[in-house]
Amino acid sequence: MKKKIHPKWYPDCKVTCSCGAAFTTGSTKPKIHVEICSACHPFFTGEMKYVDTMGRVEKFQQKQKAVSGKKYIKKRDKKRLQKKLEEQLEKKRPKTLREMIKKEKAKLKKKAEKA
Q: What is the pLDDT of residues 80-108, one digit of tens each?
A: 999 999 999 888 888 889 988 998 999 99
Domain boundary assignment for the chain: 7-50, 73-115
For residue 77, give the H/E element and its range. helix 75-92
pTM over 0.75: no
Contacts of 38 (CB under 8 A, 6+ apart): 44
CATH numeric code, 7-50: 4.10.80.400
SS3 80: helix
Contacts of 15 (CB under 8 A, 6+ apart): 22, 23, 24, 25, 27, 32, 33, 34, 37
